[in-house]
Copies of this chain bind each other. A is one copy, B any other.
Amino acid sequence: MDKKIPVAVLGATGTVGQKFITLLENHPWFTVSELVASPRSAGKTYEEACAWKQDKPIPTEIAKKTVLAAGESLESRILFSGMDASVAGPIEEDYANAGHFVVSNAKNHRTDSDVPIIIPEVNADHFEIIKKQPYKGAIVTNSNCVVMPLAMVLSPLDKAFGVEWVQLTTLQAISGAGYPGVASYDILGNVVPFIGGEEPKVECEAQKIMGRLENDHIVDADFVVSAQCTRVPVVDGHTETASIKFKKKPTPDQVKEILRNWKSMPQEKKLPSAPENPVIVFEEENRPQPARDIWLQGGMAACVGRVRECPIGDIKMVIMGHNTVRGAAGAAILNAEAFVALGYLD
């Protein structure tokens, strides 16, 4: 790529917006050229407008950029949306109408029948349905942060053995709630066994992602997910325990072999943010752990451990992924890379 593609970040001052900026620093294809936030931040420099919470400094070339107000016209064709769901819906539509490609992490349009939820390793073919969208541009989304590593694990297993159902319990990190998010008084030394609105998303997004494209619409996969979502005092990294029932019962070794060998489009096309292996399988009985393993392969892999037989389902296992990288900003960036690599920007 001769020249970097300018991109904008919508919701640039928020938690996901900050992660976009951190992950896009030195990106080989994209360069952040426009920062968009609420009217309250507009007109300020980014460093003035933003309560920066990342563990490396604001990139120098970003710090002094002036923040634009959501709604202003933009020059970038690709817009990364880290906007809060309370405002993302119509703003994303307006920009798509104006011809932009909105690569969104917000949940608002995920259930629209003409908006794909993309995991490039799983369903890059779903990009096709954007042609049904009424916009001059398009909206593309990534999944919920719990669904991301789950669908990455289920997809190759479904092809091999057919998934019937998944019983899931999550132990979710606080960064998933944004900022200020969870009050410390509620979570320090505690478990909160409920996350508002989470379980319905977790129980249906994987079926859409793993659905098949048929005459330009998606027919959802027909397995069942039952989720119990909890919040634990961990900063980054969602842990999930899963028991999976298959149509054809595999052995634990077969499951591990398929997961370890799985590679797909992002790996084949060597997309810049693609993990070398989308799924890492541990043999150590006490892994994966968020504090040790979230940064493997740049935070872009799903980590799996304790693959063993289940006396109720067929196989149980522990799944873990970086919720703000592969589960949010990193996912959207990989989606944009796939979008470009597949020629949709041309």
Contact = CB atoms under 8 A, between A and B. Distances in A.
A344 interface: no
Nearest to A178: B185
Most buried by B among A185, A189, A243, A287: A185
Contacts of A296: 56-57
Contacts of A310: 226
Most buried by B among A186, A192, A295: A186
B232 A191 contact: yes
A311 interface: yes
Contact of A311 (B171, B190, B203, B306): B203
A174 B165 CA distance: 32
A81 interface: no
Contacts of A316: 226, 228
Interface stretch (A37-45, A83-91, A100-108, A233-241): A233-241
A243 B226 contact: yes
A327 B301 CA distance: 32
A193 interface: yes
Contacts of A225: 311
Given A56-B296, A167-B167, A241-B169, A184 B188 contact: yes
A226 B185 contact: no
B189 A188 contact: yes
Given A167-B312, A171-B230, A289 B185 contact: no
A257 B176 CA distance: 35
B183 A181 contact: yes
A5 interface: no
B226 A193 contact: no
Nearest to A237: B191
Interface in A300-321: 305-306, 310-313, 316, 318, 320
Interface in A271-299: 285-296
Nearest to A189: B189
Contacts of A230: 171, 239, 241, 318
A53 B186 CA distance: 9
A23 interface: no
Contact of A188 (B174, B194, B226, B241): B174
A168 B235 CA distance: 25
Nearest to A319: B193
Interface string A177-209: 001111111111111111000000001000000
Given A174-B188, A228-B306, A235-B291, 12 more contacts: A167-B312, A169-B169, A169-B228, A175-B185, A180-B183, A180-B186, A189-B290, A191-B237, A193-B241, A193-B289, A193-B320, A194-B286
Q: Which 5 A-B pairs have the closest CB atoms?
A: A180-B183, A190-B291, A169-B169, A228-B241, A194-B286
Interface of A: 53-57, 165, 167, 169, 171, 174-175, 179-194, 203, 224-226, 228, 230, 232-235, 237, 239, 241, 243, 285-296, 305-306, 310-313, 316, 318, 320
6 contacts: A175-B185, A184-B188, A185-B235, A188-B233, A189-B234, A226-B312
